Amino acid sequence: VQLVESGGGLVKPGGSLRLSCAASGFTFSNAWMSWVRQAPGKGLEWVGRIRTETQGGTADYAAPVKGRFTISRDDSKNTLYLQMNSLKSEDTAVYYCVTYDLGYFGFWGQGTLVTVSS
């Protein structure tokens, strides 16, 4: 299993950014996927998860990001996305792409750093 995130960088407050996660080594279309973030020097925080297309492809979000972040997937490209809008300084974190299964996160990417600062 390999998960490779990309798209992180520096963005101004109120701005937008889209993260991508290229998946390989497993049947991506059969997997629920999730994003977990970690602010510098802090603990882990769940961002959201997305179901498989056969299970509706719908997503759930943590309260701090609901309405601002959108998780999507493209099974034809084995890619997971995180669209982040109206970014705030408190969204500064390393964002990890992870596989999700029955309440746990099995495989993790190496993470991509998002910095929200003026």
Give me the residues that bind other proteins (CB under 8 A), please. 34, 36, 43-46, 49, 60, 62, 96, 102-111
Provide the minimum distance between the beta carbon of 36 and other proteins in the complex, in angstroms, as a whole number. Answer: 8
**Closer residue to other proteins (CB): 54 or 102:** 102
Under a CB-based contact definition with an 8 Å cutoff, are residues 14 and 86 in contact?
yes
**Closer residue to other proteins (CB): 16 or 55:** 55
Provide the minimum distance between the beta carbon of 100 and other proteins in the complex, in angstroms, as a whole number. Answer: 8
Provide the minimum distance between the beta carbon of 95 and other proteins in the complex, in angstroms, as a whole number. Answer: 11
CA 59 from chain centre, in angstroms, equals 11
Q: Is the dihedral of CA 22, 25, 26, 29 positive or negative?
A: positive
User: Which pair of tokens denotes residue 60?
Assistant: 């759930």
**Closer residue to other proteins (CB): 32 or 83:** 32
**Closer residue to other proteins (CB): 43 or 76:** 43
Q: Say which residues have a Cβ less than 8 Å from residue 15's Cβ, sequence separation at least 6.
A: 87, 116
Provide the minimum distance between the beta carbon of 87 and other proteins in the complex, in angstroms, as a whole number. Answer: 22
User: Which pair of tokens denotes residue 13?
Assistant: 């407050």
Phi, psi values for residue 30, rounded to 5°: -90, 0
